[in-house]
């Protein structure tokens, strides 16, 4: 028998996502959440419908039907140069 309402960890495991992604999604109101006191619970069927409606379904990415979201043609963003620590100590030494 399947549960009607799942916890954050259980729904993350079912959807193959991280619990942090589930929390982020319900805080942004992208997926429906039911509150039992202070505990967030999710109806898996409603969550899947909402994700498909929002275009955030992981099933498309897992099946290979979507385009990659990274940099195109191997181009990458330049990163800022790391600051090196000063070689000379300044100020009072104890």
Confidence band, pLDDT 50/70/90 cuts, at residue 1: very low
What region, left, alpha or beta, does residue 69 occupy, with left being phi > 0 and alpha being psi -120 to 50 degrees?
alpha
Calculate the average pLDDT of the chain: 78
What would the pLDDT profile of 8-43 be if each residue is shown by its tens digit? 999 999 999 999 999 999 999 999 999 999 999 999
Confidence band, pLDDT 50/70/90 cuts, at residue 78: low
Percent of the chain with pLDDT over 70: 61
User: Would you say the pTM of this structure is higher than 0.85?
Assistant: no
For residue 11, give the DSSP letter. Answer: H
For residue 74, give the DSSP letter. Answer: G
């Amino acid at each position: 028998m399947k549960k009607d309402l799942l916890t954050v960890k259980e729904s993350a495991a079912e959807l193959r996502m991280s619990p942090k992604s589930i929390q982020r999604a319900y805080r942004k109101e992208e997926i429906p959440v039911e509150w039992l006191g202070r505990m967030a619970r999710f109806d898996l069927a409603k969550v899947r419908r909402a994700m498909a409606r929002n275009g955030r379904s992981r099933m498309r990415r897992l099946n290979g039907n979507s385009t990659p979201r990274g940099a195109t043609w191997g181009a990458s963003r330049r990163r800022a140069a790391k600051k090196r620590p000063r070689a000379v100590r300044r100020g009072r030494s104890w």
